[in-house]
Structure formats: structure tokens, C-alpha cells
């Protein structure tokens, strides 16, 4: 069991965990205080500001990591890990990261050692030459499955068979279900899939959340902290008075976890999401879970709603960090539903949207913060809004 005051050996350079060495109790106070301060500054009238919900685990909670190949110093030994703070071109090897399961650290170290021994080069951001770009590790927390994806340029010479054999020989707690290789020759320093090759196994892993099973493919979005987000989603859905036999809209639905949870009771659930790949995954997972009363629509939320004839009885929103645009908010307000549940990953844009909704006749009944990412600055929130009577 890790001590919360134990400083990660990578903290001097990595910078991923800004609250290294800060007690967890103090971290929670700081995050709760930030939310309260934002509400007060924007003059949001909140009926009840509930205590922050601690994470189930402070460590080893991330189910996905995207590592970068590079070097710490120009011309130095190849590294694999995270960008160094304040020095974007430098990469810090993070083979003892505390936010991931030890299997991640083993896979990272084994991959780096393998590539060093083979004499492979990493992709240089300035010269645009070299082979190795990224390593992506994904984990099914409830299923114990690992999916490993090596991202390279199309430069020849990589020994795929030896790499798979090396990985499969590792002593891991989890079971590797797939080893993939993604080819990317684009200049930008970002993961992009021009071609995906399955070197061994399958191109997805399985996960279970909210009593549902999800197939998560190599590049599908999925919540990073499964146990914590299950608490958050359960709380959010539980805020709705009664949605049995009603039509529920889940806007910015991602891969449709909340939509499918609503569909268990609602007459019909409609999920709307901008990313087409996420919508395809949501449809497939709904079929996997035997749910035929939910529909997923791809596109900008405002544009999709403009063309929908259905009227919702309840609305759940879970927007990205930028929040909800005024046009989309206007459309949501126009439905006049009695309750809106707002799930937020950014308290700053949340309060901006709450202010807008408050002006147009919705009051914030309650707000609760959730610490889904201990040791980092990130805070999630769930707000319940209710339409004031006598307002348009």
C-alpha cells in the first residue's frame, strides 16, 4: 500500500501529479474550495453544495496511458514516458508511475529495453525521421484484460514477432488480449491511425461498468477511472425523480454509458455525440447489452437537436471541457424539461453554463464535486437543475 506522502521518483521532471506529497484530505479541501470559489464569483445560487466525493483509490486508478518515445537530453539515451514539464521536447521515462497498475510500468520498461537492445530509433519531432512514436496501454479493470498498441512510422525493420513473444513472456497480473501496431507518418506529434495491424490477439478489450459490458477498441474513448466514474454516474442518474416510461436525452454521450443506464428504465433513451466512432461503439455496445430502446445520433448537439422531432422528458448533459455552447444551451432550455442533470469535467465552464441556465429560469438545486483523479488538479462535478415555475 502506497503512502500518500511518498513522493514519486519521477515528480521532479514529470509534473503529471501536481499534488505530490500533499495529504489526500488537503487535496480534497483544495478541490472543494475551488468549486465553491467559482460558484461564489459567478454568483450562482446553489440550493445545496454537497461535500466532495473521494476517489475509491488514490493510486493505480488510470486504465489508459499514452507514452511517447524520445530522449531526456538532446542526443541522449532513448526514453519512453511523459513530456517533461516546461520542456516539451524532452521525454521522461516513467516506469514507476503511481497512477497506473504495476503492469503498465512493466510493459513500458520491457518495451523500452527491447527497443534499445534492437537499436531502433525514435521519431524526431524536428527532422521527422525515425521509427518509434508512442506506446498506448489500456486496461479492463473489471475483466483483467490488457491491450497494447505500439505506434510507429512506416520505417522498416521492426521485429513484430519478437516483440509479441517478449510481451507474452512477461510476468503480469493481467492477461494481454491483444498486441497492435499503429502506423503513423504524419508530421504532428500526436497519435493518429493511418493503418492498424493486429500483431496478435484482438483489437479490443472488454470492460464492465454500471452492470453493462463494453467492448473498447484501440482508439475508443472510455472513462479513465472506472470505479470512480461508476460512483459518479450512479449518483447522477439517481438524481432524476422518475424517468420510467419517459424519453431521456443524454447529450455529449461518448460511448453511451449513461444512455444505456437510462434505457434500463426509460421508455426511450437518445444519445447524441459529435465523434462518429464513439457513436458506432455505443450502438455496438447497446446491442451487446440487449438494449433496443436506445438510439445514438452522431453530430453537433445543436444541429442534431434542431432536426429531432422527439421531445425529452429529462435531459442529462456530459460535455467536454469547453462546456456547452450558447446555441446548444438555448435549444436545451427550449424543451422546458423539469430537470437537467449536468455532469462536468471542468468546474470553470460548468459555472459559466449554470449562470446562463440560471438567467433563463433554471435553479441549481444541488452540486457535488467528485475527485476522480487524485494527485492531479482535475475535478468532476454533478449538478441538478430544476425549472422554476412561472418562467418561460
What residues are designated binding site?
223, 252, 273, 318
DSSP letters of 195-213?
EEEEEEE-SEEEEEETTEE
Q: Where are the beta strands (DSSP E) in the chain?
A: 46-53, 64-71, 78-84, 87-93, 132-140, 145-152, 175-183, 195-201, 204-209, 212-217, 247-251, 268-273, 294-298, 314-317, 339-344, 362-370, 380-387
Whole-angstrom Cα Rg for the chain: 22
DSSP code per residue over 91-140: EEE-TT-SSB-HHHHHHHHHHHHHHHHHTPPBPPTTT---SEEEEEEEEE
- 193: annotated active-site residue: no
Cα(283)–Cα(294) distance, integer angstroms: 8
The annotation places the binding site for S-adenosyl-L-methionine at 223, 252, 273, 318
Task: Count H helices and E strands in the chain, helices first.
Answer: 9, 17
Check if the beta carbon of residue 220 is closer than 8 Å to that of residue 277: yes
Task: State how far the Cα of 91 lies from the Cα of 10, in Å rounded to an integer.
Answer: 11
Asked if 131 and 123 touch (Cβ cutoff 8 Å), the reply is: yes
Residue 356 — φ and ψ, nearest 5°?
-65, -45
Identified catalytic residue from 46, 115, 294, 345: 345
Q: Is 250 helix (H, G, I), strand (E, B) or coil?
A: strand
Q: Of the candidates 129, 97, 100, which has an alpha carbon nearest to the alpha carbon of residue 14? A: 97
Task: List, by residue number, the catalytic residues.
Answer: 345
Amino acid at each position: 500500500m502506497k503512502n500518500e506522502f511518498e513522493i514519486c521518483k519521477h515528480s521532479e521532471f514529470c509534473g503529471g501529479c501536481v499534488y505530490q506529497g500533499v495529504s489526500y484530505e488537503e487535496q480534497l479541501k483544495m478541490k472543494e474550495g475551488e468549486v465553491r470559489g467559482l460558484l461564489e464569483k459567478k454568483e450562482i445560487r446553489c440550493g445545496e453544495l454537497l461535500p466532495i466525493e473521494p476517489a475509491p483509490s488514490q493510486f493505480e486508478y488510470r486504465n489508459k496511458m499514452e507514452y511517447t518515445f524520445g530522449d531526456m537530453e538532446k542526443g541522449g539515451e532513448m526514453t519512453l514516458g511523459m513530456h517533461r514539464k516546461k520542456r516539451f521536447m524532452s521525454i521522461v521515462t516513467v516506469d514507476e508511475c503511481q497512477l497506473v497498475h504495476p503492469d503498465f510500468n512493466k510493459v513500458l520498461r520491457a518495451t523500452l529495453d527491447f527497443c534499445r537492445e534492437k537499436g531502433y530509433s525514435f521519431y524526431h519531432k524536428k527532422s521527422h525521421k525515425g521509427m518509434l512514436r508512442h506506446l498506448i496501454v489500456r486496461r479492463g479493470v473489471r475483466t483483467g484484460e490488457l491491450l497494447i498498441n505500439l505506434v510507429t512510422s512506416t520505417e522498416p525493420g521492426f521485429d513484430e514477432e519478437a516483440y509479441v513473444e517478449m510481451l507474452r513472456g512477461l510476468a503480469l497480473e493481467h492477461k494481454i488480449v491483444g498486441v497492435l501496431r499503429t502506423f503513423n507518418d504524419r508530421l504532428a506529434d500526436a497519435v493518429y491511425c493511418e493503418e492498424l495491424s493486429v500483431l496478435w490477439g484482438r483489437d479490443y478489450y472488454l470492460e464492465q461498468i454500471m452492470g453493462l459490458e463494453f467492448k473498447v477498441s484501440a482508439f475508443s474513448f472510455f472513462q479513465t477511472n472506472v470505479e470512480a466514474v461508476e460512483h459518479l454516474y450512479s449518483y447522477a442518474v439517481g438524481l432524476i425523480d422518475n424517468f420510467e416510461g419517459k424519453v431521456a436525452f443524454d447529450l455529449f454521450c461518448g460511448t453511451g454509458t449513461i444512455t444505456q443506464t437510462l434505457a434500463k428504465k426509460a421508455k426511450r433513451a437518445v444519445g447524441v455525440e459529435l465523434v462518429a466512432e464513439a457513436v458506432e461503439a455505443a450502438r455496438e455496445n447497446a446491442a451487446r447489452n440487449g438494449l433496443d430502446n436506445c438510439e445514438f445520433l452522431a453530430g453537433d448537439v445543436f444541429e442534431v437537436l434542431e432536426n429531432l422531432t422527439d421531445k425529452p422528458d429529462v435531459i442529462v448533459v456530459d460535455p467536454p471541457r469547453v462546456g456547452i455552447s450558447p446555441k446548444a444551451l438555448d435549444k436545451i432550455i427550449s424543451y422546458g424539461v423539469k430537470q437537467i442533470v449536468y455532469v462536468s469535467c471542468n468546474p470553470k465552464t460548468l459555472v459559466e453554463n449554470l449562470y446562463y441556465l440560471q438567467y433563463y429560469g433554471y435553479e441549481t438545486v444541488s452540486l457535488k464535486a467528485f475527485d476522480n483523479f487524485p494527485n492531479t488538479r482535475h475535478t468532476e462535478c454533478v449538478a441538478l437543475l430544476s425549472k422554476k415555475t412561472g418562467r418561460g
